[in-house]
Amino acid sequence: MNYFGPGHGACPGCGFPTAIRGAIEVLDGKVIAVNATGCLEIVSSMYGRNTWGVPYIHSVFENSAAVAAGIETALKALKREKEGHVVVFAGDGATFDIGIGTLSGMMDRNHNVIYICYDNEAYQNTGNQQSMATPPGANTTTTPVGKLQPGKTGKKKDMVGIAVAHGVPYAASASIAYPKDFQRKVKRASEFEGSKYIQVHSPCVVGWGIDGKLTVEVARLAVETGLYPLVEYEHGKLVRVRKLKQRKPVEEYLRLQRRFRHLFKHEMGKEMLERLQRIADENAEKYGLDA
Amino acid sequence: MAKMKLYIGASNPPMSSEMKTGDWGTELAYIDKEKCIACGQCITFCPEPATSMVEEDDKKYAIVNHDYCKGCWICYTVCPVDAIEMKTKDIYKVEV
Amino acid sequence: MRKVVRGFYAIAEAVRLSKPNVIAAYPITPQTEIVENLAEMYANGELGDVEYVTAESEFGAASMVLGASAAGARAFTATSSQGLLLMTEVLYNAAGMRLPIVLVVANRSVSAPLSIWNDIQDSISIRDAGIIQLYVESNQEAHDMVPLAFKVAENKGVLLPFMICVDGFKLTHAYEPIDLLEQEIVDKFLPPYKPVVKLDVNNPVAMGCYAPPPYYMEFRVAMEYAMERARKVMIDEFESWYELTGRNWGGHVVAESCEDAEVAVVAMGSVVPLVREVVNRMRQDGKKVGLLKVRTYRPFPSEEVRKALENAKKIIVIERALSIGAEPPVTADVKSALFGIDAEVYPVVMGLGGRDIPRELVEKVIDDVMYGKVKPEKRFESLNEFEEVIP
């Protein structure tokens, strides 16, 4: 039984389908998928052309967490909780920005839902507009490179930290470069009762300006430079991080993507590169990434 | 003319396997059956999925379904034994 | 059992008897007490197999109710004014997804300026969504309409959300002697919810897909057809309710002494009993007046309105909402229902923001029209003369 795909409309080389399929497979297809508006929804759920082999619902952009909460509540009321896991698949725009209110409510009430945010670091479906998950220095259409700014000057929101602050039993970050690790995290999350938050870094070939050839390498470098630490929290305690034997400098990661290439030429680029390196260094210290 | 069937409430499950995305890319992936060690990396990573594992005469190996392969090169980058080759489709082989 | 209770208790009791599976609650004056009463019942184990969830916003509450209904549960929530406006996106979505959720709206004015008092601007603002709207004149009617709302919404031919509009404070907080329903009566009328589609791992379906141009229009028109079918379904259920309980609330409209009326007054909601009293008194004085109570606002009962008002020369429409820049909402629907009939329609906007509508005012309004003292155009009653000060 194909739980997700093939035949969906994701760009060749897109990062998230690997994650979506992996998540459903590791849960043996006993999944009720709740999807927020975004790339995933658009490529997979056209009327008459839907790729989902599991029950699926898409409501509006910002309420996937609340809809999932409602489904979980209904299953509890109807005594059908054992039927399957309620899993949310939402992009970073729907999670970090517009949907943070409903997500906070869901996590606060500790509904038994696995919330998986595929983080492609911008509103990619509408053409790469910045979201609060976009890292500083990125060239997006709403934070473009110009005389006044070298791309985005704000920071990336620490959503995993926000989840932990809500007191959820499980919160983790993952990357599609390590799909088995991501699957393990989904399986581990399913063992907890309550709201689980997993953020999976998914490169976007169009938005980030890379080729399908580079998808896995770029995702791996994001982890290996310390810019995207892979962490795991259980009941508020940091239980596992992916240690880096040899932490690479951030330039190796940034150089490969068109959205960061201007940093090597722009007059404010050097400052931004230093800032990004600082972020990586701080992550390494905070989570103990350096082996 | 037959009336269109409008499913109220929900759309039925997988019908997009009708959408043969194999015609999207300029290249298609080909797995060398001899070199393949059936590690499963291409199966795990393929976004479609267009890869699957088959068994023939006690040899397990992966194959690519060209109905769906978009030619993204991800399997090529993750194969540990370089068993995958990306070949340009004939229609894109242009004589300059 | 007959008890003197407040409106919100009667509504909460009716919800309890309808055996919902999921109730999502978010406070907003004046519907807060409805969900508070339900919370108390839940905390004391009186609600049966219900999950009661406190939402983080009305938007969250509506979304949870949507999700619950999609999973196959009977779901309920209540709201007012700003909350309803916030829920608007989700309610359009639920109507489009054909989920039979039931909403009680305790009518309250909309901001700005902020007002907690009653008028019907909130529910009027969402009239295009494809949600069935029914306006009640008393708490007894509100109490009776809750099980009916579930039955009509869940009907296979309808599958649209149902909104019961109860005037905030004027009805919700008023004490009224109510014939509270018994569980057996409600059980006889309202069977357990059998969803047509639901999210089920054993039978996967995809809900809320996006529809490109070749399909979209058919979905929206299907909602129109469902609304049309709802007309008959509602009439059938009103009749069943009468047979079961002995209470006849009428059909989509209730015409009282309109056959020979020179001046007919169209009214909706809690102002109806007042107009009824005025009309009856005037009849005793020999004046030929009539009352048309509109119960169902969506689907608008054009045929019934036309039939009831075909002999009236002058028609007053009491409006408690505005469509700023255009004909007031109920007037627009009444005028289009009467198209081709030679009659004068007098829209009167009054009572916005809870401003009192005293009996004398209703009498004056009818007299002004009867004796030709006003023109048939949009009018505002009990409005203070004011001078705008723009700095």
> Position C262: which residue type?
E
The domain ranges of chain A are 16-287
Neighbours of chain C (3+ CB pairs under 8 A): A, B
Q: Is C171 left (phi over 0), alpha (psi -120 to 50) or beta?
A: alpha
| One domain for residues C92 and C198 | yes
Cβ distance of C98 and B6 shorter than 8 Å? no
C388 in a structural domain: no
Give the end of a domain, one of C210, C245, C280.
Answer: C245
Cβ distance of C212 and A83 shorter than 8 Å? no
Band of pLDDT at residue C46, cut at 50, 70 and 90: very high
| One domain for residues C201 and C77 | yes
Model confidence at C281: pLDDT above 80: yes
Q: Which chain A residues are within 8 Å of C19, Cβ to Cβ? A: none
Q: Which chain A residues are within 8 Å of B25, Cβ to Cβ? A: 12
B35 in a structural domain: yes
DSSP string, C281-309: HHHHTT--EEEEEE-EEES--HHHHHHHH
Cβ distance of A57 and C49 shorter than 8 Å? no
Q: What is the pLDDT of residues C70-112, one digit of tens each?
A: 999 999 999 999 999 999 999 999 999 999 999 999 999 999 9
Dist. CA C17–CA C10, nearest whole Å: 11
The verdict on ipTM greater than 0.85 is yes
- Cβ–Cβ < 8 Å for A229, A156: no
A window 122-161, beta carbon within 8 A of C: none
| One domain for residues C283 and C227 | no
Q: Which chain A residues are within 8 Å of C66, Cβ to Cβ? A: 59, 63, 67, 70
- Cβ–Cβ < 8 Å for B62, B42: yes
**Nearest-neighbour CA in chain A from C227: distance (Å):** 22
| One domain for residues C227 and C264 | no
Give the end of a domain, one of C245, C263, C298.
Answer: C245
Closest to C115 (Cα-Cα) out of C315, C351, C345 = C351
CATH of the domain at C44: 3.40.50.970
| One domain for residues C236 and C292 | no
C390 in a structural domain: no
**Nearest-neighbour CA in chain C from B7: distance (Å):** 9
Encode burial over C211-240: b for 16+ CB neighbours within 10 A, e otherwise: beeebeeebeebbeebbebbbebbbebbee
Dist. CA A252–CA A277, nearest whole Å: 11
Q: With a cut of 50, which residues of chain A have pLDDT below it?
A: none
Class of domain A16-287: alpha beta
Q: Which chain A residues are within 8 Å of C71, Cβ to Cβ? A: 32, 70-71, 74-75, 78, 80
**Nearest-neighbour CA in chain B from A18: distance (Å):** 5
Which residue, chain included where needed, has tokens 């995305």? B21
B6 in a structural domain: no
Choose among B4, B6, B10: nearest Cβ to C206.
B10
* Residue C217: closest C-alpha in chain B: B6
Number of domains in chain C: 2
Dist. CA C60–CA C307, nearest whole Å: 43
B42 in a structural domain: yes
Mean pLDDT of chain C: 95
B62 in a structural domain: yes
Element (H, E) at A239: strand A237-241
Residues of chain C with pLDDT > 70: what percent? 100
Average the pLDDT over C221-240 and give the result. 96
Instruction: Give the N- to C-terminal CA distance of chain A in Å, as an integer.
Output: 41
B1 in a structural domain: no
- With 0-12 / 13-18 / 19 or more C-beta atoms within 10 angstroms meaning exposed / middle / buried, residue C371 is exposed
Q: Is B38 left (phi over 0), alpha (psi -120 to 50) or beta?
A: left
Q: What is the pLDDT of residues C206-219, one digit of tens each?
A: 999 999 999 899 99
CATH of the domain at B36: 3.30.70.20
Q: Looking at residue A5, what is its pLDDT?
A: 79
Q: Looking at residue B6, what is its pLDDT?
A: 85
| One domain for residues C261 and C347 | yes
Q: Does B17 touch chain C (CB under 8 A)?
A: no
Cβ distance of A53 and B13 shorter than 8 Å? yes
A140 Cβ contact partners less than 8 Å away, ≥ 6 residues apart: A122, A128, A129, A130, A134, A151, A152, A207, A259
CATH of the domain at C307: 3.40.50.920
Neighbours of chain A (3+ CB pairs under 8 A): B, C
Cα-flanking dihedrals φ and ψ of residue C192, to 5°? -60, 155
pTM comes to 0.94
Q: What is the pLDDT of residues C283-320, one digit of tens each?
A: 999 999 999 999 999 999 999 999 999 999 999 999 99
Q: Which range marks the domain in which residue C206 is found?
A: 2-245
Q: Looking at residue A48, what is its pLDDT?
A: 82
Q: What is the CB-side half-sphere exposure of residue A45 using CA atoms within 13 A?
A: 28
Cα-flanking dihedrals φ and ψ of residue A89, to 5°? -115, 110
A window 47-106, beta carbon within 8 A of C: 47-48, 50, 52-60, 62-63, 66-71, 73-80, 83-84, 101-102, 104-105
| One domain for residues C67 and C189 | yes
C386 in a structural domain: no
Dist. CA C25–CA C78, nearest whole Å: 7
C206 in a structural domain: yes
* The token pair that represents C243 in the structure block: 């047979």
B50 in a structural domain: yes
Cβ distance of C97 and B6 shorter than 8 Å? no
- Cβ–Cβ < 8 Å for A195, A168: yes
B17 in a structural domain: no
Q: What is the pLDDT of residues C349-378, one digit of tens each?
A: 999 999 999 999 999 999 999 999 999 999
**Nearest-neighbour CA in chain A from C94: distance (Å):** 8
Number of domains in chain B: 1
Which residue, chain included where needed, has tokens 């009327």? A47
| One domain for residues C177 and C95 | yes
Q: With a cut of 50, which residues of chain B have pLDDT below it?
A: none
Q: Looking at residue B13, what is its pLDDT?
A: 62
| One domain for residues C260 and C366 | yes
B20 in a structural domain: no
Choose among C50, C65, C207: nearest Cβ to A70.
C65
Give the end of a domain, one of C228, C245, C262.
Answer: C245
Q: Which range marks the domain in which residue B73 is found?
A: 30-87
| One domain for residues C218 and C264 | no
Q: Looking at residue A1, what is its pLDDT?
A: 64
DSSP string, C85-122: HHHHHHHHHHHHTT---EEEEEE---SSSP--S--SHH
Number of helices (H) and strands (E) in chain B: give both, helices first.
2, 4
Model confidence at C263: pLDDT above 90: yes
Closest to A68 (Cα-Cα) out of A23, A28, A115 = A115
DSSP string, A155-200: ----HHHHHHHTT-SEEEEEETTSHHHHHHHHHHHHTSSS-EEEEE
* Residue B3: closest C-alpha in chain C: C218
Residue with the larger pLDDT of the pair B15 and C64: C64
C window 211-230, beta carbon within 8 A of A: 211-212, 215
User: Any idea of the CA torsion for B67, A124, A270, A221, to the nearest 10 degrees?
Assistant: -40
